[in-house]
């Protein structure tokens, strides 16, 4: 009998990018993925979003974004491929985050801000966990906002399907939209999560489990 597999979104993302023996071992043993410049940048972005969205009534100006991002930005470029990349990433991420945050017009406090969520899908023998950066009410229902550093298609898929699974559990029949913002190029994609069929989401989870967590590595016992 197989145990409960733990599909942590960060682990899934890392395995989509690289499923070498080392990454598989870390996933199997429940260790966080290797700390690299992408994760460092995302951490700075997450701290900045927390600074900007936890207070209401204070305008989210470009100056506040810049100040906060500067405070949290990795001081040491050693994890970046080179200094040029370090500065290029800084310029692009700052520019795109500024534009995004300033154009976000929702005034009410977010429903979720930097919220780790986890759930069990008993029928598949899977536990999933994700980290929602921002969820807000709007006239069209719930908007979930997820920020990624780049626009890797496999990572966007995993973000979309795992978030849809949670949206169904948390908001049921309500309309839930997802906006995925890729900060390096400023692209944003939107998906209506309410349209995803549960069958399709389960198929995706089983595929991820079979590809990364069952073969070679065995399941990750919870
Ligand atoms: Zn690897």
pTM equals 0.91
Q: Measured in angstroms, how far is the CA atom of residue 48 from the centroid of ligand 1? A: 28
Region at 219 (left for phi over 0; alpha for psi -120 to 50; beta for the rest): beta
- Reported as a pLDDT band with limits 50, 70 and 90, residue 55 is confident
Alpha-carbon distances of 91 from 95, 147, 205, rounded to whole Å:
6, 16, 36
- Reported as a pLDDT band with limits 50, 70 and 90, residue 215 is low
Of the listed ranges 3-17, 38-52, 74-88, the least confidently predicted one is 3-17
Q: Measured in angstroms, how far is the CA atom of residue 16 from the centroid of ligand 1? A: 9
Q: What is the pLDDT of residues 110-132, one digit of tens each?
A: 999 999 999 999 999 999 999 99
Domain ranges (residues) in the chain:
5-17+108-214, 37-103
Q: Measured in angstroms, how far is the CA atom of residue 114 from the centroid of ligand 1? A: 27
Q: Measured in angstroms, how far is the CA atom of residue 26 from the centroid of ligand 1? A: 9
Q: Measured in angstroms, how far is the CA atom of residue 86 from the centroid of ligand 1? A: 22
Q: Measured in angstroms, how far is the CA atom of residue 9 from the centroid of ligand 1? A: 16
If we measure between CA atoms, which residue out of 55, 73, 74, 52 comes closest to residue 63? 52
Q: What is the pLDDT of residues 136-191, one digit of tens each?
A: 998 889 999 999 999 999 999 999 999 999 999 999 889 999 999 999 999 999 99
Q: Measured in angstroms, how far is the CA atom of residue 127 from the centroid of ligand 1? A: 23
């Amino acid at each position: 009998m197989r145990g409960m597999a733990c599909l942590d979104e960060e682990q899934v993302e890392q395995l989509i990018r690289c499923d070498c023996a080392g990454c598989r071992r870390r996933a199997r043993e429940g260790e966080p993925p290797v700390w690299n410049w992408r994760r460092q940048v995302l951490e700075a972005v997450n701290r900045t979003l927390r600074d900007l969205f936890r207070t209401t009534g204070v305008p989210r100006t470009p100056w506040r974004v810049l100040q906060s991002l500067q405070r949290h930005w990795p001081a040491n470029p050693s994890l970046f491929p080179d200094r040029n990349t370090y500065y290029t990433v800084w310029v692009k991420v700052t520019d795109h985050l500024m534009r995004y945050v300033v154009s976000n017009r929702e005034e009410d406090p977010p429903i979720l801000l930097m919220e780790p969520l986890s759930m069990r899908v008993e029928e598949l023998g899977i536990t999933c966990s994700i980290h929602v950066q921002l969820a807000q009410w709007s006239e069209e229902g719930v908007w979930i906002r997820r920020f990624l550093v780049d626009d890797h298609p496999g990572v966007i898929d995993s973000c979309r399907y795992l978030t849809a699974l949670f949206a169904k559990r948390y908001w049921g029949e309500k309309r839930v939209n997802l906006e995925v913002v890729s900060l390096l190029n400023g692209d944003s994609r939107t998906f209506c999560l309410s349209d995803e069929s549960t069958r399709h989401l389960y198929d995706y989870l089983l595929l991820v489990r079979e590809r990364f967590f069952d073969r070679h590595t065995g399941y990750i016992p919870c």
